[in-house]
Amino acid sequence: MNHTQIFVDAVSLIAPSKENTQPLAKSLATASFATFPEGWKPSPESIPPRAHRRYSPQTLLAIQAAEDIAPALPENAAWVFGSAYGEGETLQLILEALRGPTMAIRPTRFQNSVHNAASGQWTIAQRIKTAATSICGANHTAGSSLLKALLQVQLEQRPVGVVLFDAPLPAPLDTSHRLTCPASAGLALSNNQSPQSIASIAFSLVQQAETAPQSSYAKEALATLNPVFSILPLFENVTGTATGKTVLGLNGRMNLNLEVTAL
Amino acid sequence: MTNTPGASDIGISHSTLVSCLGRGRTPHVTALRDGTSGLREDHNLDLPFSCFLGEVDDLTALCFPVELSAYDNRANRLALAALESDGFFQAALATRENWGATRCGIVVGTSTAGVEMLERVYRARDDDAPMPESYSMRHHDSQQAVAAFLQDYLDFQGPSYSISTACSSSAKALVDAYQLIEAGLCDAVLVGGVDSLCLTSLNGFESLELISRSPCKPCDSNRDGLSIGEAAAFLIVERDSKNSIRVSGFGESSDGTNMSTPPEDGAGAAAAIRQALQRAGLTAGEIDYVNLHGTATIVNDAAEAQAVSSVIGADVPASSLKGAIGHTLGAAGAAEAVLSLYALEEGIIPGNPGLEQLDPKVLPNVAAQCRNAPLKHVVSNSFGFGGSNCALVFSR
């Protein structure tokens, strides 16, 4: 076990529920899950509503989660964005264009097709000058992204904002790229404890199974196949009142062990 | 970089590179010395415009492992070709044997992974037809697809994930490799970058009017854009390395200004270079050579010159290798890291293929021809869409 203590200063979850379109991670125990309601859309405040159509649903989801945790992070924070499917909706529009004889792609569509479009748009919206990374670990993107962020906090001695996001794709990619519910999540991590710290984490790699979610919300959300929801067992632990352990999945035989102490 | 106790002497023990110049060290070192370009006008892509590409030959002749045939696509064939060059596959197996599979991680930088296969499958469908059931995102267009192939093929069972920050991807992957070892989570990491030629990238850059109709000419007064290439490059980074060559510093930053155009003053790039020197504990005067990102677009080359001048000084020897292998996008950081290692080991400052008339707005000490020089510290720059900047310092 690595004994470095890393502090969780904020968490965010953007996903549908029956009561509220934005259930706070802190209310997971009582939140009631709803499958993707018709017309449900992310609504980040830093992007004017009339400009939303210029951004993919994936990027809007990511920016909304980033907005939630940003107040807990100082200017020198680095950012880690994680997505299993990336900008799949934009990719689909490009693929369709490639079926035509001219293969003409809109320039803005191309520059927003990269996996780091969301992190790039977030740094542009907020004029962030620090490091921003974009990670894919397939179904284990949540654990992989958190691992990267924990390394940065520990070794670079700086706060890090973590943003996870994925959204369903339109037909025909929806059958080969399966997930049924949009979601994003955020964690603000710090190397120093502050009054806003809600938990501390010590991390290591272990050959143990992933922690199963406890709440009915998390169980139902995981069934939508959105890899973002893999973070929910950690959120259940972080927002609880006791010390506990959460194991998040990584690719390979080692998983990410998180010893969580509530503050 | 700061080594934690128990993770001393993190170094680069092995490397491999496949590009349009060939497979492995020998053809690349020969080309660096001779100033050869691998860019060609004839290629196998179905494009509605003409251009020069850095295409790797004979990938279809490779014997792809039957048990992993689900992963068979151009990106993974590039990866396989790199593994089979310079004894890298055997070195990887020996590394796994030495440290144990669960202590060996994988970090891959890629922009498009196997999207070339998705393009083919998608375009082959009838209008409004569903995707064929046999198509697997996991094996092809997932950004993790190359890392997943490597993990299954090499049985490296430590953490495995992918960095996808466009053209800085695989430079940033090297940072992760070091950090996984520094933190004591791995003893060795296979790190690198892979990107294949694909219609998405080529038509995308064409839409931005950035594709040159001739072989690209970085830093030249008459440069008019990119030539795209493909490559796979891998390095084994491990603790207690007997090789003296290492990453001594890194810097990462964001422009925070525009998705595809850097600020004119190169401020974001300069911040990354400055951090890299600080982490390496080096002064500007100790840098012997800068491997430029040097894409050959008017704006990018000028902004990078501003950045290098402001941190290292305008007179530092520098060159872009994009005229040799093309812009290999997500693989560029790792491919040019390996070329920088070759330069360090051979004691050469590579030339700048394509350069005929140096643009006075770029660095003055960019030479067309290779020359011998003892090198100790080399900076390699990688910048990508989203304003993603990464600078690495390699030292021996």
pLDDT of residue B108: 98
A100 touches chain B (CB under 8 A): no
The answer to whether the CB of A64 falls within 8 A of the CB of A43 is yes
pLDDT above 90 for A1:
no
- Check residue B221 and report its DSSP letter: T
Within 102-121 of A, beta carbons closer than 8 Å to B belong to 102-108, 110-117, 119-121
| Distance from the B162 Cα atom to the nearest Cα atom in chain A, whole angstroms | 5
In single-letter form, the type of residue at position B73 comes to N
- A141 neighbourhood in chain B, CB within 8 Å: 144, 161
pLDDT of residue B2: 44
The region of weakest confidence among A38-42, A227-231, B285-289, B330-334 is A38-42
Residue B389: strand pairing partners: B253, B383
Spatial distance between the Cα atoms of A12 and A25, rounded to a whole number of angstroms: 6
DSSP chain A: -----EEEEEEEEE--BSS-SS--GGGTTT--B----TT-----TTS-GGGGGGS-HHHHHHHHHHHHHGGGS-TT-EEEEE-SS-SHHHHHHHHHHTTSSS----HHHHHT-STTHHHHHHHHHHT--S-EEEEE-GGGHHHHHHHHHHHHHHHH---EEEEEEE-PPPTTHHHHS---S-EEEEEEEESS--TT--EEEEEEEES-PPPPP-SHHHHHHHTTT-GGGGGHHHHHHHTSSS-EEEEE--SSS-EEEEEEEE-
Structure tokens at B347: 């004691």
Spatial distance between the Cα atoms of A120 and A63, rounded to a whole number of angstroms: 10
Chain A residue whose CA is closest to B2: A155
Picking from B122, B157, B182, the nearest residue to A252 by CB comes out as B157
pLDDT in tens, chain B (396 residues): 544 444 558 999 999 999 999 999 999 999 999 999 999 999 889 999 999 999 999 999 999 999 999 999 999 999 999 999 999 999 999 999 999 999 999 999 999 999 999 999 999 999 889 999 999 999 999 999 999 999 999 999 999 999 999 999 999 999 999 999 999 999 999 999 999 999 999 999 999 999 999 999 999 999 999 999 999 999 999 999 989 899 999 999 999 999 999 999 999 999 999 999 999 999 999 999 999 999 999 999 999 999 999 999 999 999 999 999 999 999 999 999 999 999 999 999 999 999 999 999 999 999 899 999 999 999 999 999 999 999 999 999
B51 is catalytic: no
Continuous segment of H or E residues that includes residue B391: strand B388-395
Calculated CA dihedral for residues B341, B343, B346, B348, nearest 10 degrees:
-160
pLDDT above 90 for A30:
no
CA atoms within 13 A on the CB side of A108: 6
- Which residue among B327, B370, B377, B390 is the active-site one? B327
Structure tokens at B272: 């990354």
Continuous segment of H or E residues that includes residue B390: strand B388-395
The answer to whether the CB of B120 falls within 8 A of the CB of B59 is no
The answer to whether the CB of A9 falls within 8 A of the CB of A190 is yes
Q: What does the mean pLDDT of chain A come to?
A: 93
pLDDT above 50 for A28:
yes
Closest CA to B154 of B106, B114, B195, B109: B106
Continuous segment of H or E residues that includes residue B184: none
The region of weakest confidence among A2-16, A177-191, B173-187 is A2-16
Secondary structure string (H, E, C) spanning B98-149: HHCHHHEEEEEECCCCCHHHHHHHHHHCCCCCCCCCCCCCCCCCCCCHHHHH
Spatial distance between the Cα atoms of B189 and B84, rounded to a whole number of angstroms: 18
Picking from A111, A136, A252, the nearest residue to B151 by CB comes out as A252
pLDDT of residue B9: 86
Within 204-243 of B, beta carbons closer than 8 Å to A belong to 204-208
